[in-house]
């Protein structure tokens, strides 16, 4: 069985491109060109150079001694929190801005929920001197003021989506409308392994640098390139896709995906897509999706804004359905406790998204000599206020 996208963008029964007719030319231009462009030496050179000098790659693979001692297994942390802008998202936006330039585009649009992807996009647009418009729900603009300020400081225009629930899904609709109206000069930078083909595959390829590095780093440290497990949190699934990528076809490497159970999987306030999702179409992709009996998308909830997505990318739906991946759901409380433990055992304050991954020890037992690599997707500075309020610090 293949765990990579086929030509039409299918992972098993999931994926594809379910888009309105008017979006077809845009997606088709990208679909025809993304692999040929990515495979040129020139593209690879520019991409690698920027990852090295601008993002700060390779990020370290760090053996977490105290955390390993506590949980009686060998824990390595892949330090994506040390990327410029504080998370893995910039790996993808660097790749896509280069892609946009090769396609002759001089204007970028993006959607953002909590603002993290908006900031990563505004960052690379500033780097390249390219016009940037970020669509964001009116409600999100009000509750994510620091990220709105960052985007503006970086020179981006933040446009409010004022329809519907005025959150991420409405911002996405506005961005799609913009793209339909500006097919020639504009590239749409999607922030995770979601959306119509070729986005999930393209974003996974850009993020795959994570597992590419893990392989040689682990070889140096352990004398073998394969861990027993690789663990990552899943919102849309881009940091996870990058951490799994070069291990997908290596069955000896266990794949563990961690989702947000919010206040409990069955509480009605959750984002545990694998447990609750049914097959459906969201943002142009057939995947697992939280929905009501009559197919209305359910509003997701998680204490971490980055995991607060009602679907998962098609790669992850396939990993779940095929049982290649083991899916674990973690509540807000479990994640917050794990984030505090990580801070005090290793001196690393993780993003709350990432904290979910570190909370699996009550759900999954590892052997003492198992090598378990956690993808530390981002740093917790952006979440400090949430930690402060939760722990009354
Ligand atoms: C955005 C974000 C996530 C969730 O997005 P994925 O596409 O699932 O990786 C996870 N961790 C951090 C730190 C993020 O900023």
Percent of the chain scoring above 90 in pLDDT: 92
Has residue 36 got a pLDDT over 90? Answer: yes
Kindly report the CATH number assigned to the domain that includes residue 104.
3.40.50.1100
From 285, 271, 216, 289, select the one nearest 246 (Cα to Cα).
216
- For residue 239, give its domain range: 56-87+209-391
Per DSSP bridges, beta strands 254-262 and 229-233 are parallel
Cα(375) to centroid(ligand 1), Å: 11
Helix, strand or coil, per DSSP, at residue 382: helix
- Helices 384-391 and 332-346: angle between axes, nearest 10 degrees: 100
Residues 28 and 68 in one domain: no
- For ligand 1, whether the C-beta of 306 sits within 6 Å is yes
pLDDT of residue 127: 98
Final residue of a structural domain among 177, 203, 229: 203
Residues 78 and 94 in one domain: no
Based on the residue annotation, tell me whether 259 is a catalytic residue of this protein.
Answer: no
From 284, 282, 314, select the one nearest 299 (Cα to Cα).
282
For residue 285, being part of any structural domain is answered with yes
Residues 360 and 230 in one domain: yes
Has residue 167 got a pLDDT over 90? Answer: no
- For ligand 1, whether the C-beta of 235 sits within 6 Å is yes
In tens, the pLDDT along 67-82 reads 999 999 999 999 999 9
Residues 64 and 178 in one domain: no
pLDDT band at 87 (very low <50, low <70, confident <90, very high): very high
Average pLDDT, whole number, for the chain? 96
Residues 114 and 228 in one domain: no
- For ligand 1, whether the C-beta of 147 sits within 6 Å is no
- For ligand 1, whether the C-beta of 192 sits within 6 Å is yes
Residues 142 and 169 in one domain: yes
Residues 137 and 226 in one domain: no
Judge whether 363 and 327 are in contact, CB under 8 Å. no
Structure tokens at 149: 């300020």
- For ligand 1, whether the C-beta of 243 sits within 6 Å is no
pLDDT mean over 85-111: 98
Residues 297 and 318 in one domain: yes
pLDDT of residue 137: 94
pLDDT of residue 94: 98
Cα(238) to centroid(ligand 1), Å: 7
Instruction: Average the pLDDT over each of 43-47, 105-109, 276-280, 299-303 and give the range with the smallest value.
Output: 299-303
pLDDT mean over 148-168: 95
For residue 19, being part of any structural domain is answered with no
By CB neighbour count within 10 A (0-12 exposed, 13-18 middle, 19+ buried), where does 222 fall? middle
CA-to-CA distance for 154 and 157, rounded, in angstroms?
Answer: 9
pLDDT of residue 299: 85
Query: Which residue pairs from 361-366 have beta carbons closer than 8 angstroms and sit at least 24 positions apart in sequence?
Result: 361/71, 362/334, 363/328, 363/330, 364/256, 364/326, 364/328, 366/71, 366/72, 366/73, 366/228, 366/229
- For ligand 1, whether the C-beta of 351 sits within 6 Å is yes
DSSP annotation of 53: I
pLDDT of residue 143: 85
For residue 150, being part of any structural domain is answered with yes
For residue 7, being part of any structural domain is answered with no
For residue 3, being part of any structural domain is answered with no
Cα(305) to centroid(ligand 1), Å: 9
Q: What is the pTM of this model?
A: 0.98
Judge whether 378 and 88 are in contact, CB under 8 Å. yes
pLDDT band at 161 (very low <50, low <70, confident <90, very high): very high
* Edge-to-edge strand list for the sheet holding 371-376: 61-63, 74-79, 371-376, 229-233, 254-262, 325-331
Catalytic hit among 74, 78, 80, 89: 89
Q: What is the CA radius of gyration of the chain?
A: 19
pLDDT band at 325 (very low <50, low <70, confident <90, very high): very high
- For ligand 1, whether the C-beta of 233 sits within 6 Å is yes
The per-residue b/e assignment along 68-106, b for 16 or more CB within 10 angstroms, e otherwise, is beebebbbbbbbbbbbbbbbbbbbbbbbbbbbbbbeebe
Residues 183 and 37 in one domain: yes
For residue 8, being part of any structural domain is answered with no
Catalytic hit among 111, 174, 259, 334: 111
By CB neighbour count within 10 A (0-12 exposed, 13-18 middle, 19+ buried), where does 333 fall? middle
DSSP annotation of 88: T
Per DSSP, the residues of 275-294 read HH-EEEEETTEEEEE-B-TT
Helix, strand or coil, per DSSP, at residue 357: helix
Collect all residues with Cβ–Cβ distance below 8 Å to 67 and sequence separation of at least 6: 75, 341, 342, 345, 346, 358
Collect all residues with Cβ–Cβ distance below 8 Å to 145 and sequence separation of at least 6: none
Other C-beta atoms closer than 10 Å to the C-beta of 277 total 22
Cα(191) to centroid(ligand 1), Å: 9
Residues 373 and 295 in one domain: yes
Residues 194 and 283 in one domain: no
Based on the residue annotation, tell me whether 267 is a catalytic residue of this protein.
Answer: no
**Ligand 1, atom 14, residue with closest C-alpha:** 306
In tens, the pLDDT along 269-314 reads 999 998 899 999 999 999 999 999 888 888 889 999 889 888 999 9
- For ligand 1, whether the C-beta of 353 sits within 6 Å is yes
Has residue 169 got a pLDDT over 90? Answer: no
Judge whether 123 and 154 are in contact, CB under 8 Å. yes
pLDDT mean over 88-115: 97
For residue 251, being part of any structural domain is answered with yes
CA-to-CA distance for 257 and 236, rounded, in angstroms?
Answer: 11
Whole-Å CA distances, 272 to 145, 146, 147, 276, 332? 27, 28, 26, 6, 12
Final residue of a structural domain among 203, 236, 263: 203
Cα(235) to centroid(ligand 1), Å: 6
Helix, strand or coil, per DSSP, at residue 28: helix
**Ligand 1, atom 7, residue with closest C-alpha:** 238
Residues 161 and 221 in one domain: no
For residue 13, being part of any structural domain is answered with no
Based on the residue annotation, tell me whether 334 is a catalytic residue of this protein.
Answer: no
Percent of the chain scoring above 70 in pLDDT: 100
Q: Which of left, alpha, beta for 83 (phi over 0: left; psi -120 to 50: alpha)?
A: beta
pLDDT band at 83 (very low <50, low <70, confident <90, very high): very high
pLDDT of residue 309: 85
Final residue of a structural domain among 203, 224, 242: 203
Structure tokens at 369: 């000599």
Quick one: CA dihedral 381, 364, 246, 9, positive or negative? negative
pLDDT band at 387 (very low <50, low <70, confident <90, very high): very high
Q: Report the domain count for the chain.
A: 2
């Amino acid at each position: 069985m293949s765990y990579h996208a086929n030509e039409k963008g299918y992972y098993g029964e999931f994926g594809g491109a379910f888009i309105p007719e008017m979006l077809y030319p845009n997606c088709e231009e990208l679909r025809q060109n993304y692999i040929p462009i990515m495979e040129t030496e020139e593209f690879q050179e520019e991409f690698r150079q920027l990852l090295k000098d601008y993002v700060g790659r390779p990020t370290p693979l760090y053996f977490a001694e105290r955390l390993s001692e506590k949980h009686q297994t060998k824990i390595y942390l892949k330090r994506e929190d040390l990327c410029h802008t504080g998370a893995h998202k910039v790996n993808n936006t660097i790749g896509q801005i280069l892609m946009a330039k090769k396609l002759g585009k001089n204007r970028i649009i993006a959607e953002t929920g909590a603002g993290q992807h908006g900031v990563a996009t505004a960052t690379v647009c500033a780097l390249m001197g390219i016009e940037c418009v970020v669509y964001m729900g009116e409600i999100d603009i009000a509750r994510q003021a620091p990220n709105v300020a960052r985007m503006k400081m970086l020179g981006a225009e933040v446009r409010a989506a004022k329809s519907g629930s005025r959150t991420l899904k409405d911002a996405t609709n506005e961005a799609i409308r913009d793209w339909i109206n500006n097919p020639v000069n504009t590239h749409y930078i999607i922030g995770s392994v979601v959306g119509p083909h070729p986005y999930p595959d393209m974003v996974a390829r850009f993020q795959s640098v994570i597992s590419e590095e893990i392989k040689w780093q682990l070889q140096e440290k352990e004398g073998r390139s394969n861990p027993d497990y690789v663990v990552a949190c899943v919102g849309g699934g881009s940091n996870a896709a990058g951490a799994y990528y070069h291990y997908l076809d290596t069955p000896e490497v266990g794949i563990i995906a961690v989702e947000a159970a919010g206040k409990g999987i069955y509480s009605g306030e959750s984002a545990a897509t694998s447990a609750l999702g049914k097959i459906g179409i969201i943002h142009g992709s057939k995947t697992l999706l939280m929905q009501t009996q009559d197919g209305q998308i359910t509003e997701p909830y998680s204490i971490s804004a980055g995991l607060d997505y009602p679907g998962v990318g098609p790669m992850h739906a396939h990993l779940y359905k095929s049982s290649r991946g083991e899916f674990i759901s973690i509540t807000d409380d479990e994640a917050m406790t794990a984030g505090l433990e990580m801070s005090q055992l290793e001196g690393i304050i993780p993003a709350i998204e990432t904290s979910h991954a570190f909370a699996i020890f009550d759900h999954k037992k590892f052997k003492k000599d198992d090598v378990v690599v956690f993808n530390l997707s981002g740093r917790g500075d952006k979440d400090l206020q949430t930690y402060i309020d939760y722990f009354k610090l």
